[in-house]
Structure 1
Amino acid sequence: MRAVKLGSRIYGPGWGLKRLSPSFVSSSCSARACASSAGTGMAEEGRTTQDGDPVDLAMSVLVNYHEETKHRSRKYARGPHRLDWANQPNPFRRYDGARVVPLDHLPESPTRSSDPLWPVIFEESLAPKPLDKSSLSQLLYDSLALSAWKAARRSTWSLRVNPSSGNLHPTEGYVICDAIEGVSMTPFVAHYAPYEHVLEIRAEISVEKWRYLSSGLPPGSLLFGFSSIFWRESWKYGERAFRYCNHDVGHAIGAVAIASASLGWNACMLDGYSVHEIGCLLGLPQVRVSTDRGPVRGVMRELETEHADCVLAIFPSGLTISEQPNYQVAKLMGDVKWQGQMSALSKEHMSWGIIYEAAQASEKSAVTSAAITRSLPLPDSIITSAEYEPVTVRQVVRKRRSAESMDSTYAMLAEVFFQILAKTLPTGSGETQGAPRQLPFGALPWNAEVHLVIFAHRVVGLQPGVYILVRNEAYTKELAKLMKPEFSWEKPEICPPSLPLYALQYGNVTGLAQRLSCDQEIAGDGFFSLGMLARFESAMRDFGPSMYPRLFWETGLIGQMLYLEAHAFGVSGTGIGCFFDDPVHTVLGLKDNKFQSLYHFTIGVPVEDKRIQTVPSYPAPPGANF
């Protein structure tokens, strides 16, 4: 662990950190210009929703949902007045009666020969491992499994590799795959159960069905499906839960893409499926939940069903998807015999109808011929690999934690700051921000729609203030036109030329960042915090109403990279879902729905709570459940 000397003393705790003296002053910045263009890459949906109403009606529903679930300083989005602990949803879904296949457990501190160092997966494509029980176990162990248990007094709770809003984990994962020795003698559909790190075989399917499902995919591929249980989030967060569930989908996509890369595999979204087709593929009940405005309390088992989200193709690096897969699978899966009874999560429920109204309005209702991309790691051009902490991919992904609070007496070196930002770009540094290629953004079939508004607090050599990282430079001029005319749009003098980072306004923004993030001190105590600003209404008009949740998926994917990069440098990050939406837009001078802030984040030195004990992930400690 490398430290930085300040005066006659050396301060920790990690590389690239410097404890501040009261007289700390950042260097100034000067203006430079940088601009380029990029197109879009996602096929547009049909112009009608499932029930035949115009797309404008669905967009109206989604814009209304977004407006009604905004936090305001005098009125937060509607949620429960208190937490009903007796009905807290079980975070572990099980399919009782399904055949259970235990997966391999792996060492928490692997050798470098078995697990690559963190920077390596971004610089080169590793030799792909064969798809077998061992590699499938590793994929799940390093993406969706439990990472630890925490204990304090009489309470015990689990943590997972993929982060979740409030640690509630609405995202479920499914594997659709050819026969694998030790798992299934035939192709299968399986639900992943992280509590015990096992697969539950939901269905065994014929070879002919698998060939149809994997049409166009190279040998050694598998399909990975995601679904969401909105009730798990709405139990705590009420109407805003639909936003948070989709953040979590993005985090999970990133977790699976990173774990795949460590195995020498690519991950890309097959975005041509309709929601109905995905549900049929995963064996999910097709249930419509009432959209009557709530909250409504009672026993409503339909709230525990899963909403189909998306499907990823996982395949060996160096190979490509030769043709569009077969997206029309409902009839194909119609005669499949599904095994296992879906477990109950709560005794009673509370329904927030606006969530299900938004979910239905944003469903991809038509099978489309969506664009396909694949991860193509690019060389790192900001700093060298040797300057990271010497940690492997597994050590980064499994030891990632969300900081509860941060120590404001530390600063980050500018080159580390620039490196972290470079890893959030869809194509890496040194290249026009066009079609997504850099891991994990190559998993997405659309070009970047989300930009980072950064509140820089303590970055050595960078003047404090508000900055913007334009992740798709096709929108630089539009953003500059819509934002406050007095913003400078200067390129910081010390900023690498390839990084599309611009200073908007200088000054101490610690209090501002804290205030905008629901008065949470953590937003001001880190090195920097940020808001993720998405092209909003026009993105939905370009790609259809289903783009609404996908914008949140993109923010979750960015958040996942911020988490992991922070940990690779020996510090920590925290996603912030609570922020005052419109005051963020007011600060930037935005006056309409062309761009909206969807997610906040902060990075800094974590302050550890020594009252909390950490327990290994497996086996679960005695008496632990959730």
Structure 2
Amino acid sequence: MPDIVSADEALRVQRTALTAAYHERSKHRLERYANGPETLDWDAQPDPFRRYRGAPLQALPLLAQDPATPWDALHRPGAVAAQPFGLASLGALFELSLALAAWKQAGPDRWSVRINPSSGNLHPTEGWLLCQGVPGLADGVHHYAPHEHALELRAALPAGPAPAPTQSQARVFIALSSIAWREAWKYGERALRYCLLDAGHATGALAYAAALQGWQLQPRPVAAADLAAWLGLDRDMDFPGGAEREEPELLFELRPPDTPAAPLPGDWLTQPLWQGQANRLDAHPMYRWPVIDQTLAATRPTAGAATAEGPLPPATTPSPQAAPEPAASLIRRRRSAQRFDAQARLDLPALWPLLRALLPGRLPFAALPGADHVHVLLFAHRVDGLEPGAYLLPRSEAGATLLRRQLPVSMDWAPVAEAPADVPLWRLARNPALAGTLRTLNCHQALGSDAILGLALLAEFQPLPTPWAYRERLMEAGLLGQALYLQAESLGLAGTGIGCFFDDALHQLIGLTPTAAPQAALQSVYHFTIGRALTDSRIATTAPYAHLPAWPERLADASRSPE
């Protein structure tokens, strides 16, 4: 008797197949790049800032001085005292996660960079605050405006007979959404990958900034339709004149340690009073990429996506080595390197805290449920005490088994004797001529050949357990990238995330080829390089918020800033 497949299961299979087809279609190949625009009008780039015109704007205070909390303290449970929720502490959270980091200028061209990295500095990720009972803030839904370092009140809660929660009962949620056109304008069909990687980076930035306030960034899985409704993203009338739509991505609760979970916003965000309309970012788009919208629809989490929730686990791996600077200084200083010193080297002992920072069970990986499905393929160029070649860092026992099964038995598979017991590093192959290979694999970029270290992040891919697991895999890779950025900074180095690489050429290099499935069981979803950055003296750097008329007056009182 033939098996009877339910309609839900058939839809799941169809959506998963569509997702896998998108990933295959959006690969760069040695003989051709993924579909993208044939030309770009650099004088007509999309507006880098989303605003909701007509929504009341509330300025957030700027830190008078950065917290002195050392880098390693963020990774020790209980080492940072929890701050009360308020304008100062939430302003610090956004300032050290999604805000502007600096302005850059070269000749007549001027542009901003942000605390959170983004592919092409295009920033598709938008931040949201949903709160009730926070002193100094209206209850409701706020959109974060990084250019102004302010909150736009998109939806206010009507006054009611029930008293608002007290400070100890305040409900504080952070949400992320994506505007795919910001990336698609430049990168075409591959842009959706970059949006998801950027959401992972933003998650990491929020997790570190929350830890500086003594808070946990607790994931609260929800259906995409619910999150869209809570953020007003399903309100057609609020996106007039072709204003680009936003895709709901993630919801987190900000929670001091050892406090119970708050009710989800749908339980208390009742009858909100909506205000404001989205600005249009690109009045004259030259291309359309319908496969992005199709894949977004296929990968949206449904009502059954929610996983069991509980307290965040304590860190189970040692904290990274202490950095001489406060964590906030590393966060502010992070930049994507544009060029590397091709002669720079790394001492082997410095490699271990870098790799240890990528292991699950520590900050920032608790911010994404089950973030142990992406594994690290390490290419060591110039590490004193380690032969040049390819190495593997599995991030779970199941992942180690899968990698052993999928990669050729002809690989060395030799444990690195010098590695600490908690860093399971395996040598796959020696390769003294590695630099030229990696330059080719990374779209012929010198960032691949001149780095001290190159990394390819391999995601467990085939089969995907759910359609939305595709989003989870790429966000996890972005989360790993954020950990790499900050750990590199703590070593006096710099990193660069690389989304442009030749997918299958990398797979073939390590012997990872499709078997019975259309795609290999592992897919490279993100590349990263680390080295000693070379600065361009022709580019001037200025303060991030000197453009605000009342910038000095917005500084928070130092006594209110977290220590």
Specify which structure has the higher proportion of helix: 2
Alpha-carbon deviation of 1:383? 6.5
Which residue in the other structure is 2:338 paired with? 404
The reply on whether 1:307 has 2:231 as its aligned counterpart is no
Alpha-carbon deviation of 1:499? 0.6
Which residue in the other structure is 2:155 paired with? 203
- What is the rounded CA distance, in whole Å, between the counterparts of 1:239 and 1:501 in structure 2? 35
- What is the rounded CA distance, in whole Å, between the counterparts of 1:520 and 1:374 in structure 2? 43
| 1:220/1:316 contact within 8 Å kept | no
Which residue in the other structure is 2:277 paired with? 341
Alpha-carbon deviation of 1:318? 3.3
- Further displaced range: 81-90 or 116-125: 81-90
Which residue in the other structure is 2:17 paired with? 60
What runs of 5+ residues in structure 2 fail to find an aligned partner?
550-563
Which residue in the other structure is 1:525 paired with? 450
| 2:176/2:251 contact within 8 Å kept | yes
- What is the rounded CA distance, in whole Å, between the counterparts of 1:261 and 1:568 in structure 2? 17
Identity rate, percent:
37
- What is the rounded CA distance, in whole Å, between the counterparts of 2:162 and 2:333 in structure 1? 36
Which residue in the other structure is 2:288 paired with? 351
- What is the rounded CA distance, in whole Å, between the counterparts of 1:210 and 1:242 in structure 2? 43
Which residue in the other structure is 2:226 paired with? 277
| SS of the residue 2:274 aligns to | coil
* 1:74 counterpart (31, 46, 50): 31
Alpha-carbon deviation of 1:617? 0.2
- What is the rounded CA distance, in whole Å, between the counterparts of 2:211 and 2:6 in structure 1? 36
| 2:72/2:321 contact within 8 Å kept | no
- What is the rounded CA distance, in whole Å, between the counterparts of 2:235 and 2:311 in structure 1? 31
| SS of the residue 1:582 aligns to | helix
| 1:174/1:226 contact within 8 Å kept | yes
* 1:616 counterpart (543, 553, 557): 543
Alpha-carbon deviation of 1:379? 7.3
Q: 1:66 to 1:106 in 2, by over 3 A?
A: same
* 1:162 counterpart (96, 116, 133): 116
- What is the rounded CA distance, in whole Å, between the counterparts of 1:516 and 1:597 in structure 2? 12
| 1:122/1:377 contact within 8 Å kept | no
- Further displaced range: 168-177 or 483-492: 483-492
- What is the rounded CA distance, in whole Å, between the counterparts of 2:282 and 2:417 in structure 1? 56
Q: 1:154 to 1:87 in 2, by over 3 A?
A: closer
* 1:183 counterpart (123, 129, 137): 137
- What is the rounded CA distance, in whole Å, between the counterparts of 1:487 and 1:47 in structure 2? 43
Which residue in the other structure is 1:426 paired with? 360
Which residue in the other structure is 1:16 paired with? none
What runs of 5+ residues in structure 1 fail to find an aligned partner?
1-45, 289-298, 428-437
Q: Given the two structures, how large is their TM-score scaled by the length of structure 1?
A: 0.81
Q: Given the two structures, how large is their TM-score scaled by the length of structure 2?
A: 0.90
- State the aligned residue count: 535
| 1:121/1:377 contact within 8 Å kept | no
- What is the rounded CA distance, in whole Å, between the counterparts of 1:257 and 1:220 in structure 2? 19
| 1:490/1:502 contact within 8 Å kept | yes
Which residue in the other structure is 2:554 paired with? none
Q: Which amino acid aligns with 1:439?
A: L
Alpha-carbon deviation of 1:380? 6.2
| 2:457/2:526 contact within 8 Å kept | yes
- Further displaced range: 578-587 or 84-93: 84-93
- What is the rounded CA distance, in whole Å, between the counterparts of 2:113 and 2:163 in structure 1? 37
Which residue in the other structure is 1:121 paired with? 74
User: What CA deviation, in whole Å up to 9, does each residue of 1:70-98 have, x standing for no partner?
Assistant: 00011100101111234311111111111
- What is the rounded CA distance, in whole Å, between the counterparts of 1:65 and 1:81 in structure 2? 20
- What is the rounded CA distance, in whole Å, between the counterparts of 1:209 and 1:446 in structure 2? 41
Q: 1:61 to 1:159 in 2, by over 3 A?
A: same
Q: Which amino acid aligns with 1:58?
A: R
Alpha-carbon deviation of 1:335? 3.3
| SS of the residue 1:54 aligns to | helix
- Further displaced range: 249-258 or 174-183: 174-183
The reply on whether 1:228 has 2:178 as its aligned counterpart is yes
Q: 1:103 to 1:411 in 2, by over 3 A?
A: same
Q: 1:351 to 1:47 in 2, by over 3 A?
A: farther
Alpha-carbon deviation of 1:378? 3.2
Which residue in the other structure is 1:260 paired with? 210
- What is the rounded CA distance, in whole Å, between the counterparts of 2:155 and 2:418 in structure 1? 57
| 1:447/1:472 contact within 8 Å kept | no
* 2:522 counterpart (583, 595, 603): 595
| 2:216/2:257 contact within 8 Å kept | yes
User: What CA deviation, in whole Å up to 9, does each residue of 1:535-568 have, x standing for no partner?
Assistant: 0022x22xx1011111110000000000011111
- What is the rounded CA distance, in whole Å, between the counterparts of 1:379 and 1:59 in structure 2? 34
Q: Which amino acid aligns with 2:249?
A: D
